Amino acid sequence: MDDPTQHNYMKKLLKFQSEGKLPKVGLHEVNVAHDDWCQVYKGGYCNCDPDIQLRRPPRGRPSIN
């Protein structure tokens, strides 16, 4: 059952994770681009189909151990 109190971008990220499309280890960043009419901009839940893009870490960034 769809949870109306969960943002669409989180649903999409969890789906990508279950499909193995996200790295399993390490710290990673993603870009989430919402539609202009998305309720997230009005303090509501994301109700659009946002574009999500995995960001690659910059080269030469020191690792954290």
pLDDT in tens, the chain (65 residues): 467 678 999 999 999 989 988 888 877 889 999 999 999 999 999 999 999 998 877 676 555 54
32 belongs to a structural domain = yes
3 belongs to a structural domain = no
pTM: 0.72
Domains in the chain, number: 1
pLDDT (0 to 100) of residue 26: 78
1 belongs to a structural domain = no
42 belongs to a structural domain = yes
Range of the domain at 16: 8-21+28-55
34 belongs to a structural domain = yes
61 belongs to a structural domain = no
2 belongs to a structural domain = no
Place of tokens 């303090």: 43
Do the beta carbons of residue 51 and residue 38 sit within 8 Å? no
Distance CA 65, CA 63 (A): 6
